[in-house]
Amino acid sequence: MVDPKVVKAMMPYFSEVYGNASSTHEVGAKAKRALADVREVVAKSIDARREEIIFTSGGTESNNLVLKGLAFQQKVAKTGKNHIITTKIEHSCVLHSCEWLEGQGFDVTYLDVDGDGFVRASDLEKALRPETFLVSVIHGNNEIGTVQDLSALGDVCKKAGVLFHTDGCQSYTKVPLSMKKLSIGLMTLNSHKIHGPKGVGALYVKSGVKLVPVMHGGGHEGGLRGGTENIPGLVGFAEAVKLGLKGKHVKEMVKMRDYFIREVLSRIEGVKLNGPLDEGSGEKRLCNNMNFAFPVNAEMLGDYLNMAGVCTSKGSACSANEGDEVSHVLKALGRTDKEAGNSIRFTISRFTTQKELDESLKILIKSVEKVGKSRFA
């Protein structure tokens, strides 16, 4: 849900300050000031400079801009480099962009991960070539919650002189991110994962990194992203960032996540946790993510849960329209087709209560029993 405080912050920019930030009149000037304020908030949240923040429509656009923009920059600059390294557990927009780039003559290496979804720094080091120009690794995985060690991976890239990009959409405001401390050249962020509006995102581009724009227009966003900025959405994004960095909600979510995982593993026979067990911490697993492989048909289980008011996901919501029955992320962990097909993801937020969690747990246990007894399971 969008935080009510975010909605309140956005409202004036749908009416009283409904100006184009590129216009020279006073209403436009107010919108421009608001845009500058948002850029400052996002930049400060990751220890970056505001001129290093490019606003986009969300994570998918930002990831496309990184991969395609940097790839074609190699051709423009005639660097002779054509190799990208990514992983087998990336978001579909990264994987599909890489597949498209392969058709354009670029070479892509897809790294394996271990049983919990972690990329080995040694594997990355071995995969590097003289012609490698980009390494792209998701920070917090959207399906299994695995949080990569950006420090170790970034150091490998820095040593090799290769740009490092990470998709931080899921981890943003949940895990500390400092561009001053990490060897990151580009990072993808978005709004709706932190209770902000959909259709708004950002890309951190370290000073000196050059990209070919994939959307041409009137020179907006430093010439990298043509199109009138969505001021109401961006104001909401900034408010969501400020709220996301406040309070102790991350620690509270870690407690609830751990509680739910312990209860499920102890009370449902044959269930497996997908991703790392990171009790008491949000450093290796996202504080809001629980993903299990159940011993029963997940399609039926999901239907039972949905009818009872418990919303869950199989795989990634962004891949639901592709008709894939088996998650590429879970397959990369070594799960069988049956285990991957019978996996379900539960997600909590800072608005989730212990009462809601307990009720969901009761419904889950009853639903597993019902599916297990069904002759169609």
Q: Which helix (H) or strand (E) holds 302?
A: helix 298-307
Q: Which of 93, 98, 169, 318 is catalytic?
A: 318
Within 180-315, strands assigned E span 186-190, 201-205, 272-273, 289-293
318 catalytic per annotation:
yes
Residue 196 to residue 314: CA distance in whole angstroms: 23
Q: Which helix (H) or strand (E) holds 108?
A: strand 107-111
Q: Residue 136 is encoded by which pair of tokens?
A: 């792209």
How distant is the alpha carbon of residue 349 from its chain centre?
A: 15
> For the chain, how long is the longest CA-to-CA vector?
69
User: For helices 26-45 and 231-244, what crossing angle results, to 10°?
Assistant: 30
Q: Residue 31 is encoded by which pair of tokens?
A: 């919108």
Instruction: With beta carbons less than 8 A apart as the criterion, state whether 187 and 153 touch.
Output: no
Strand order in the sheet with 53-56: 53-56, 201-205, 186-190, 163-167, 132-138, 83-87, 107-111
Active-site residue set: 318
